[in-house]
Amino acid sequence: MKAHLITYGCQMNEYDSHLVQSQLVSLGADMVDSIDAADFVLINTCAVRGKPVDKVRSVLGQLRKEKALRPLVIGMMGCLAQLEEGQQIARKFEVDVLLGPGSLLDIGKALESNQRFWGLNFKDELHDHIPPPPTGKLQAHLTIMRGCDHHCTYCIVPTTRGPQVSRHPDLILRELDSLLGAGVKEVTLLGQNVNAYGFDAGAKLAGYPSFAELLRMVGASGIQRIKFTTSHPMNFTEDVAAAMGETPAVCEFVHLPVQSGSDRVLRRMAREYNREKYLTHIAQIRKHMPEAVLATDIIVGFPGETKEDFQETLSLYDEVGYDSAYMFIYSPRPGTPSYQHFQDLPREVKTERLQRLIAVQKDWSAKKNARFQGSVQEVLLRGDAYSEGHLEGHTRGNHPIVVPKALGAVGAGLYQARVTATTPHMLYGELVGVDGQTLPMVPNFLPEAAALSSPLTML
């Protein structure tokens, strides 16, 4: 079998795609780079917003036409597959294999079946499975939990991924050891709400550390860089902030979604915290990690959001000064309380507010990035950039950076780079060292030719 895997959505989906791909390879499948070369195409879907769902419909429409011309097995997995909406789409586009987020290990059973196979159960054995480490990569994702016990009124995740289940720390550390053995230098701990790790259904699990304790354990493993996502402010504690500051491997980057600066909107979202509580967490982070780079998520135009509510969000930006943000206009999702009970705002209102928010964020990002001008940063380079003769990567603060190749530094690795230019969304620099050694430069670095638009705006 020749298989092709398409992934939409979050980092958890990327991890799940790696898990399923490893299963396919173990079954003897060859992974190919295009639909045309494949006889099995599997789409890992996202259901958080309407736009990724529209993308899935478009791809499935193309695949159905292809299936009419030649033998082709079509598969759909992920959050959308778990929903009735996704199952209706699957029937319409003649999907053969449907796997929910809790049934990924059923891929072999599905392919052995001679009829349509739909696996939509949440299974505990998924948490016990340790996929092989990625090949030739310095970064990796590591799932520490699945599901969520919160019920934000706009969010479909508790329905698609089920209640929170924390993964046993022994399994986490075993997988981490495997990643270290494969040469991974940066790991991102994944969960729908990592701050609640070890407290499933609101109760502390015997023998499980808290998330703060887990951070310290992972930091003691020898891994060089640690990130984590995503965090729910309701479960954030000062001990997490302290663990970040005390653990050298934890990167100076914190993604703490606020969603709105208005207490009234936060209550309608059922976020379980208010603006004051959120700002307390920001103060705790800055107390224990003064150089922290702060990122957030914002939903613009939530049902019932007034001009005054939106102004509260704008004022929060001036109070916090975010380095970056993922900004979304509210997307009503069938099956959520906000879809069932709240009236959506006109799209033109939401779009206008989003554009205003983008302008504020761009200004803050420009100011924040400018402070790195002339500084030397540790950068993880992933490989060749879009411009010939250059490498791309990111700093410990998660800033994208582009540098020219230097003699002795022609590929992926950890380096030191001096920042020579900044934009709101990018740093540019020159490599100055690796393992304590100074590197000679390759000339003619022209950052103005490589300007990028923001990757953080989601319509």
CATH number, residue 160: 3.80.30.20
Burial of 212 (0-12, 13-18, 19+ CB in 10 A): buried
How far CA 135 is from CA of 173, 293, 395, 443, 458, in Å, comes to 19, 30, 22, 32, 31
Confidence of residue 455 (pLDDT cuts 50, 70, 90): very low
79 annotated ligand-binding residue: yes
Whether residue 281 is contained in a domain is answered as yes
**pLDDT for the residue 436:** 60
**pLDDT for the residue 321:** 96
**407 pLDDT above the threshold of 80:** no
Which residue has better confidence, 31 or 451? 31
Residues 77, 141 within the same domain: no
Degrees, nearest 5: CA angle 407-410-413 = 115
Whether residue 79 is contained in a domain is answered as yes
Q: Which two tokens stand for residue 297?
A: 């998520």
**pLDDT for the residue 458:** 36
409: domain range? 376-454
Residues 343, 268 within the same domain: yes
Confidence of residue 448 (pLDDT cuts 50, 70, 90): very low
**What is the CATH number for 59?**
3.40.50.2300
- Percent residues over pLDDT 90 in the chain: 83
3-state secondary structure of 413: strand
323 contacts: CB under 8 Å, gap ≥ 6: 293, 294, 295, 364, 365, 368, 369, 397, 399
Residues 337, 402 within the same domain: no
**pLDDT for the residue 441:** 54
CA dihedral over 211, 212, 215, 220, signed as positive or negative: negative
How far CA 227 is from CA of 44, 176, 369, 396, 430, in Å, comes to 23, 13, 20, 9, 24
Residues 355, 432 within the same domain: no
Confidence of residue 126 (pLDDT cuts 50, 70, 90): confident
Summarize pLDDT for 13-48 with one digit per residue, the tens. 999 999 999 999 999 999 999 999 999 999 999 998
**449 pLDDT above the threshold of 80:** no
Residues 199, 257 within the same domain: yes
Residues 195, 53 within the same domain: no
Confidence of residue 437 (pLDDT cuts 50, 70, 90): low
Whether residue 97 is contained in a domain is answered as yes
Confidence of residue 253 (pLDDT cuts 50, 70, 90): very high
Please state the domain count of the chain. 3
Whether residue 325 is contained in a domain is answered as yes
* CB-based contact 42:75 (threshold 8 Å): yes
Span of 250-254, 396-400, 451-455 with lowest mean pLDDT:
451-455
- Percent residues over pLDDT 70 in the chain: 94
Confidence of residue 291 (pLDDT cuts 50, 70, 90): very high
Q: Which two tokens stand for residue 212?
A: 């703060």
**277 pLDDT above the threshold of 80:** yes
Residues 281, 362 within the same domain: yes
Summarize pLDDT for 411-435 with one digit per residue, the tens. 789 999 999 999 999 999 999 987 6
Which residue has better confidence, 34 or 436? 34
**391 pLDDT above the threshold of 70:** yes
251 annotated ligand-binding residue: no
Q: CA-to-CA distance for 330 and 260, rounded, in angstroms?
A: 11
**pLDDT for the residue 200:** 94
Q: CA-to-CA distance for 226 and 209, rounded, in angstroms?
A: 17
Residues 99, 152 within the same domain: no
The pTM of the full predicted model, rounded to 2 decimals, is: 0.92
State the virtual CA torsion across 28, 34, 35, 38 in degrees, nearest 10.
-20
Which residue has better confidence, 60 or 411? 60
Summarize pLDDT for 302-348 with one digit per residue, the tens. 999 999 999 999 999 999 999 999 999 999 999 999 999 999 999 99
155 annotated ligand-binding residue: yes
Residues 310, 211 within the same domain: yes
**pLDDT for the residue 27:** 93
* CB-based contact 423:448 (threshold 8 Å): no
* CB-based contact 211:194 (threshold 8 Å): yes
**pLDDT for the residue 164:** 94
Whether residue 359 is contained in a domain is answered as yes
Question: Would you report the helix, strand and coil content of the chain in percent, each value rounded to 5?
Answer: 40, 25, 40
Domain stops at, among 119, 152, 173: 119
352 contacts: CB under 8 Å, gap ≥ 6: none
Confidence of residue 387 (pLDDT cuts 50, 70, 90): confident
Confidence of residue 450 (pLDDT cuts 50, 70, 90): very low
Report the chain's mean pLDDT, rounded to a whole number: 92
Confidence of residue 456 (pLDDT cuts 50, 70, 90): very low
Looking at residue 381, its amino acid is: L
Domain stops at, among 119, 152, 180: 119
Averaged over 125-154, what is the pLDDT?
91
Summarize pLDDT for 69-123 with one digit per residue, the tens. 999 999 999 999 999 999 999 999 999 999 999 999 999 999 988 778 888 877 7
Domain stops at, among 323, 341, 370: 370
Whether residue 459 is contained in a domain is answered as no
Count of helices and strands (H, E) across the chain: 15, 21
Residues 22, 150 within the same domain: no
Residues 408, 260 within the same domain: no
Whether residue 430 is contained in a domain is answered as yes
* CB-based contact 79:101 (threshold 8 Å): yes
**What is the CATH number for 388?**
2.40.50
**pLDDT for the residue 440:** 62
**443 pLDDT above the threshold of 50:** no
Residues 104, 195 within the same domain: no
Whether residue 171 is contained in a domain is answered as yes
